[in-house]
Amino acid sequence: MDFELSDEQAAFRDVMRDFARRAIKPVAREWEHSGRYPAEIVEQMRELGLFGLLVPAEHGGAGVDAVSYAIVFEELARAWMGITGIIGTHSMATLLLARYGTAAQQQRWLADLASGARRSGLALTEPGAGSDLQAITTVALREGEEYVVRGTKTWITNARHADPLPVLVKTEPGAEPRHRGMSIIFVEQGTPGFSVSKDLPKLGYKGPESAEVVFEDCRVPAANLLGGEEGLGMKQALSVLEYGRINVAARAVGVAQAACDLALDYAVERHAFGRAIAEFQAIQLKLADLATEVQAARLLTWWAASRLDTGVRAEMETGMAKLFASEVALRSSLECMRIHGGYGYSTEYDAERLYRDAPLMAIGEGTNEILRTVIARQLVRQKKGEQP
């Protein structure tokens, strides 16, 4: 069992780490507090090919393995977690097209999405349907060669920049079981009836917008139905959400590592009672726990990612990684703030930003409470000898 990165993965990590330290970390605090959109960083991400991470090479993308994919999100989040949102749901949209899109859909959109000339997101969540995707009420009803889309989606990252935006809808609202009536349809910017109603204010996760989008008799060509076949949307969405959980787990590892780094730096520099506080046993115990939990979260995330690379379903493994890593991020950010004392509560230090960013990972891509039930259900199935 090899717990080390390959030479290619290690070199890729070094490139990402250098980029994050050089282009992101120096401006993160100022831009995050001002609410400034990181347009310059986005352009550099385009130049690095980060919008094509999960796009196959034949469509102009990088087609990286899942472990390398996790490395990108860890290194970016270590500098500024908000930046990861710009390529997070975008990557899942490209994966939807690469896996399930028709040849015409792939030819139409994938190359531009890989280069960053176009960007995308993923419209799943609704005001009354978060983790329970089967409870969505947005509908797309067929009328001739068009679908008429009606409904509202919320907490949609990249909503103002996504073109096209994949939207989970019900094409057969009365279907039983409910998932058989669900589909994904791609809605392009400028389509009449499609609007971004408002940006949602957030505690953390600044940088990309999170918005509410509304579809009012929005007419979309039937050719924009993912894969050209109705009733497969739930299966398609759940498939790419495994990669979503990897990117959220890796973000959490990045935030936790940043908290660990800040805590250690401060503990060595800060003196009390004539010596560095790192020499006090109470602080040493905290630092030891931080470092141990961060490394455990990283290895669990890499393990789950490597399972995806084998081509098997990894619902349980990715759920475990996201669950554990996000809880580590929460604990690490809090302990980092406590080690900083009063300074940890100041907006002049990065500890408070990490503390505000960490909760997102416990909520996004399925709340941790939901994921615990997913993991338990898979354990029971394995015990009974059932296929996942």
Q: Catalytic residue positions? A: 365
Q: What are phi and psi of 152, to 5 degrees?
A: -135, 135
HSE-CB for 21 with a 13 A CA cutoff: 7
Instruction: Annotate 261-276 with DSSP letters as a single string.
Output: HHHHHHHHH-EETTEE
Q: Of 73, 67, 18, nearest to 50 (Cα)?
A: 73
Residues in the chain: 388
- Residue 154 in contact with residue 212, Cβ under 8 Å? yes
Strand residues in 121-248 grouped as ranges (E): 139-143, 146-157, 165-170, 182-187, 194-199, 210-221
HSE-CB for 372 with a 13 A CA cutoff: 8
Secondary structure of residue 154 in the 3-state scheme:
strand
User: What is the rounded CA–CA span in Å between residue 159 and residue 140?
Assistant: 19
User: What is the rounded CA–CA span in Å between residue 200 and residue 33?
Assistant: 16
Residue for token pair 């250098």: 18
Residues 6+ apart with CB under 8 A from 384: none
